[in-house]
Amino acid sequence: NQFTTDFDFDIPGSMKLRNVIQKLKKWIRILEAKTKMMPKSFLIEEKCRFLSNFSASTAEVEIPGEFLMPKHTHYYVKIARFMPRVHVVQKHNTAARRLYIRGHNGKVYPYLVMNDGCLIESRREERVLQLLRLLNPGLEKRKETAKRQLLFTVPRVVAVSPQMRLVEDNPSSLSLLDIYKLRCVKKGVEHDQPIGKYYERLTSVQARGLQVSHHVLRDILREVQTDMVPRTTLKEWAVNAFPDATDYWTFRKSFSLHLALLGFAEFALHLTRLRPEMMQIAQDSGHLHAAYFRFDMVDSSGELNPNRAVPFRLTPNVAEFVSPVGVNSVLTAAMIATARCFMQPNFKVRGLFRAVLRDEVISWHKKRQDENGGSSQPLSGDTSSTVPPPDMDSEQLVNLVNRAVTSIMSRLENLAQMDGGESTVSTLVEAASSSQNLCRMDPAWHPWL
C-alpha cells in the first residue's frame, strides 16, 4: 500500500524528477534490507538434481570457456563434478548465483550464473574481451612486457542462452565502488551523498540565473574531496586489507601494472569510460579487470568517439594509492612498453582490430535499423512471412572499419613514441589526474574516487 501511495502520479508534484529520485532511493534501501535477510546459499540438489548427480562418467564436458583460446587437446580441463553448495552474491549490480565446478585436475572453478536483459550489449562486451584475449599472446612474446608480467586479466564469459551467461568469478574480487561503500557503512553515511551534493549545488547556481562555469564545477569537486571522499580512501582500505608491508607493496605493484593495461585499453581502443563499479580488483593477486567494457561508438555515425574530458581513469584516490613514484615510473613505463609491443608488425594487430570492429559495426547498423523501426517488412500480400532488413552496404562497412582501425593505430603510434625523457603517455597521465579535467566528468563516474 505504501509503495502504491508513493508512486501515485496523480498527486500534484509527484512527477517532478527530484521527488521521484527521493522515493526511488527510499525503496532501494527498503529492498536492500529485505535482500540481506534472504538465504545466502542453497544446495544444488534442491534446485537441479541433474547437476548434483553429474560426474565425469555421465559425459565428458569441458569447463565453460575452455575453447575461447586454442591450445593442445591434452590441456583442456573437463568437469569432474559440480560442488554441492551454490552461493547467492551481490555482484555486477545484480544478485547472481555462484556455482563451483571441480575440474578433473582437482582445481575448483567458481562461475557466476547471470541473467542479462540486453542481448546486443552483452555480445558487444564479449567482443572486447575476445580482442583482449587475442592481444595477450603478443604481450607474452616481448621482453619488456613479459618481464613486467603485463597480461590482460580476461574472465571467461560463456553465453548459455540469449538471457543467461556464465561468467568466471574470483570470490576475493570486489569493485572500486564496493570499497567506497564499505567505508560509507563504517562511517554511517549514504554512499550517494556526493552525487546529491553535486546536483544540489548545480540547482542552487541555476536558481540564481547563473551559468554553471568551470570554476563552479572545480569548487564542487574540491568540496566533495574535503568533506566526503578524501584522497586516502583506497589507500586506507589497502593498508587495512594488507597489514604486512611485503603484501601491501606486492599488491600495489600488481595493481599499478594492471591499471596501466586498463588505461592503455580504454584510451587506445576507444572503450567506454571505466566507472568505479566496472573496475574489479582481485585481492588475492592485485589483478584488475573491467566488466562491461565496450567500444565507445557515436550512435548517429557508427564511428569511434574520440571526445572525452579525461583519457583514462587516474582519479585522486587511485593516484594517491599508486603514489607519485608509481605513476611516473611503473604505470607510465608499462603503458609505453605495451604500446611498443603492439607496434611490432609480426603481431598483425591491425588484422585483429579489423575482424572485431567489422562485427561491431554490423551490430551497430542492425541496432540502428531496429531503433528506426525498419527491422523487418512484411512481404506483399503475405502477412505471415517477413523480409529481413537489408544488409549494410559493403563500401560503407569497409570505410567505417578502416577509419576506426586507423584511429586506433594512430593512438598506438603516439603512445609508443618517446623523445628524450618526454612521451605522450606523460602528457596523458597529467591530463587524466588534472582536477581541471576531472571536474568536467559525470558525477556517476565518481571523479573524486
User: How far is it, in rounded angstroms, from Cα 322 to Cα 105?
Assistant: 37
pLDDT of residue 420: 66
* Predicted local distance difference test score (pLDDT) of residue 366: 87
Distance CA 363, CA 401 (A): 12
Q: What is the pLDDT of residue 374?
A: 56
CA distances from 302 to 122, 239, 292, 395 (A): 18, 45, 19, 14
For residue 389, what pLDDT is reported?
66
C-beta separation of 283 from 172 below 8 A: yes
- 292 sits in the region (left: phi over 0; alpha: psi -120 to 50; else beta) called left
Q: What is the pLDDT along the chain (449 residues), one digit of tens a residue?
A: 888 888 877 777 777 777 888 888 888 888 888 888 888 999 999 888 999 999 989 999 999 998 888 887 788 899 999 999 999 998 887 888 999 999 999 999 999 998 876 667 788 899 999 999 999 999 999 999 999 999 999 999 998 888 889 999 999 999 999 999 999 989 888 888 888 888 888 888 888 877 778 888 898 899 988 888 999 999 999 999 999 999 999 999 999 999 999 999 999 999 999 999 999 999 999 999 998 889 998 888 888 988 888 999 999 999 999 999 999 999 999 999 999 999 888 888 999 999 999 999 998 888 888 777 654 455 545 544 556 667 778 888 999 999 999 999 999 999 988 776 678 899 999 999 999 999 999 888 999 98
Residue with cell 593477486: 285
Q: Residue 118 has what pLDDT?
A: 67
Task: Give residue 381's pLDDT.
Answer: 52
Cell of 120: 546486443
282: Cβ contacts below 8 Å, ≥ 6 apart:
153, 170, 172, 173, 288, 289
The domain ranges of the chain are 2-36, 41-115, 134-156+170-191+228-371+392-449
Cell of residue 227, nine digits: 568533506
